[in-house]
Structure 1
Amino acid sequence: MCKRKNETHKRKHCYYFANRIKKGVDNLEELAKLPFVDVLYIGPNDLAISLGYVGEPDHPEVKKKVEKIIEVAKKNKLALGYYSTDVTVLKYWKEKGVDFLFCGTEISLLMDAGKKFINSI
């Protein structure tokens, strides 16, 4: 079941909006008000590329956009998701109020496990 924070009724499905491009962040105020959006998901690498900072998800301009996403999510009682493979980065954004932390893709997690296994032999 899914619901916006402090919402009294529950729905069968959750819907999230992935904030991966500048245009999405620029129009976030309107998007966050859509009744079917439950989660704002932050893709920092794609967002950095969209802003012209390839490979720099920690660039100050990218962080500024992420902080805007967090502000809009809190204002609209939406949950927040953030992706990173760096534990320190995830801890930082958790302290800033992010609800869901995505630590890798299926492939990256399998590759890491495979590398650890091979290195242990």
Structure 2
Amino acid sequence: AVDGVDGVFLGPADLAAALGHVGQPMHPEVRAAVEGALPRIRAAGKAAGVYCADPQLAAHYATLGASFFLIAADAMLLRGAAVAALGRFAS
């Protein structure tokens, strides 16, 4: 554990790229790395977070020690709001 570091956030897409699986955040090697890291982070007394937009997968990660989640990126939220706004004006 590193003093002054309160938590660790895992980004599966970034991790996938680092492991040579660009564009494959659900690759078995990436999942194994995330699933292995979460309990180790918690055992070190740090908060463990992960990007996860799937509620069932988030629940699984919570059982492994994840205590916070990024469930949507700002671009995704902005796109969703734009699509909804356009839908209100569609004829």
For structure 1, the 5+ residue unaligned runs are 1-32
Deviations 1:57-106 (A, max 9, x none): 11111111112211211211111111133344333323332111101222
What's the C-alpha RMSD, in Å, of the aligned pairs?
1.7
Comparing 111-120 with 44-53, greater Cα deviation is found at 111-120
What is the alpha-carbon distance in structure 2 between the residues aligned to residue 115 and residue 70 of structure 1? 35
Q: 1:60 aligns with which of 17, 28, 49?
A: 28
Larger helix fraction of residues? 2
User: Does structure 2 conserve the Cα–Cα contact (< 8 Å) formed by 1:73 and 1:79?
Assistant: yes
TM-score by length of 2: 0.82
Q: Does the 8 A contact of 2:16 with 2:25 survive in 1?
A: yes
Residue of structure 2 aligned with 1:86, choices 51, 54, 73: 54
Report the number of matched residues.
89
- Structure 2, unaligned stretches of length 5 or more? none
Does the aligned pair in 2 maintain the 1:94–1:101 contact within 8 Å?
A: no
SS in 1 for 2:50: strand
Query: Of 97, 102, 109, which aligns to 2:70?
Result: 102
TM-score for the superposition, normalised by structure 1? 0.64
| Residues 1:40 and 2:4 are matched in the alignment | no
Distance 1:120 1:87 in 2: 28
Report which structure shows greater RCO (CA 8 Å, sep ≥6). 2
The 3 A distance-change label for structure 1 pair 118 and 87 is farther
SS of residue matched to 1:80: strand
Which consecutive segments of 4 or more residues in structure 1 shift more than 4 A?
Answer: none
